[in-house]
Amino acid sequence: MVRENIMKVRLRIASACARVGRNPSGVRIVAVSKYRSLREVEEAVESGVFDVAENRLQEATLKHASLSPDFGNIRWHMVGHLQTNKAKQAVRMFDFIHSVDSIRLAQEIQIQASKIDKTQNILVQVNTSGEKTKSGFTPQDVKEAIRIIAGLKHLAVKGLMTIAPIVQDHEQARPYFRLLRELLNEVNSLLNTQHSMQELSMGMSDDFEVAVEEGATMLRIGRAIFEG
């Protein structure tokens, strides 16, 4: 089932890319494996999805420790809220941390990454909808925040992340994805960072086609991969 679901997701991504003249190779599927079995994760990897995400550090650690060495090519992504006191574990485990939502967290990740001489790939989370239940910098504050975070030498700021609100019509999510893309362009234009940021982590099972049309490069997809 997982293999077939991934094929369907890839076809939907290709169709969305065709509508806006994008190359599907520029869109990465990140399989969100929260509450999924180890075998389901292995099936996703066997189907060519090498980016696996978790919302919770404990669950990710258990899966990482249980996978056979044959699955050593997985890139692990942290997509849930990360507390500063969990930064040490996160830095040792994840290739990407999507949910950097405060300067304090970025500074703690910097401290922990420096201890193991690692450059940690991160994305800066933006609360594009303004919902009080969501974490992230406001669109007004994110440029100054990135200016500060980009100066932390053990962090590589690769781009931005957002979570769109739950809507009945997927089209209603478009403004939030478009805003994130516009913010990325503005930050790249205004800030003298060492490398321009390229990644837009946005779009999930219900709205990823709209996110692709608006420039998403990382899609955080769980249910559309793991459920029938």
pTM: 0.94
The answer to whether the CB of 58 falls within 8 A of the CB of 80 is no
Percent of the chain's residues with pLDDT above 70: 98
Task: DSSP for 74-93, please give it.
Answer: PEEEE-S---GGGHHHHHHH
Q: In the prediction, which pLDDT does 195 show?
A: 60
CB atoms inside a 10 Å sphere around CB 50: 15
Dist CA 163 CA 160 (whole Å): 11
Q: In the prediction, which pLDDT does 193 show?
A: 54
Find the mean pLDDT for residues 107-115. Answer: 98
Q: In the prediction, which pLDDT does 190 show?
A: 79
Torsion angle of C-alpha atoms 88, 92, 40, 18, degrees rounded to 10: 100
Task: Give residue-wise pLDDT tens across range 2-51.
Answer: 999 999 999 999 999 999 999 999 999 999 999 899 999 999 999 999 99
What the block records as the tokens of 48 is 């060519």
Task: Give residue-wise pLDDT tens across range 141-197.
Answer: 999 999 999 999 999 999 999 999 988 898 999 999 999 999 999 999 877 655 679
Q: In the prediction, which pLDDT does 112 show?
A: 98
Find the mean pLDDT for residues 81-97. Answer: 96
All domains in the chain, ordered by first residue:
2-226 (3.20.20.10)
The pLDDT of residue 118 is above 80: yes
**Burial class for 66, CB neighbours closer than 10 Å (0-12, 13-18, 19+):** exposed
